[in-house]
Amino acid sequence: MRIELGSVLATDFVMRSQSWFVSDLDTGVPLVRRLFLLDQDKARLGLYLRQHCVMALPRLNASGRVPLSLSPRQKSRIEKLYAQDFELVEGLRDAQARQAEDSARILVIAAE
């Protein structure tokens, strides 16, 4: 059976969407206060960790990157399987963009 068509509960937890672990399963609303995008939020994550007396996160099970070409069918299957993750990340990026715009607007007002 194709895993993107089956029940999430029938899927091994290592294959489940990351959003499954941090969001309400019915509404998709995050149940955590802060989410970080590691490719964008290293500084914010570092500050958050230091505030909680954590100097660094250990990197476990690291492996080298291997170039990967996906067929359109493979890409479609991945997008279906992880659709909630893509939505969660897009929403987080949108919220961060709005926050940056608001901060810039506040600085302009303060400078006037």
By the 10 Å C-beta count (0-12 exposed, 13-18 middle, 19+ buried), 23 is classed as buried
* Statement: residue 81 has pLDDT above 70: yes
pLDDT tens-digit readout, 67-78: 989 999 999 988
For residue 79, the SS3 value is: helix
User: Rounded to whole angstroms, how far apart are CA atoms 42 and 76?
Assistant: 29
Q: Are 60 and 54 in contact (CB under 8 A)?
A: no
Can you give the residue ranges of every domain in the chain? 3-59+69-111
**Predicted confidence (pLDDT) per residue in 23-60, tens digit:** 998 888 889 888 888 878 888 899 999 999 999 888 88
Reported pTM: 0.69
Q: Rounded to an integer, what distance in angstroms lies between the CA atom of residue 89 and that of residue 30?
A: 11
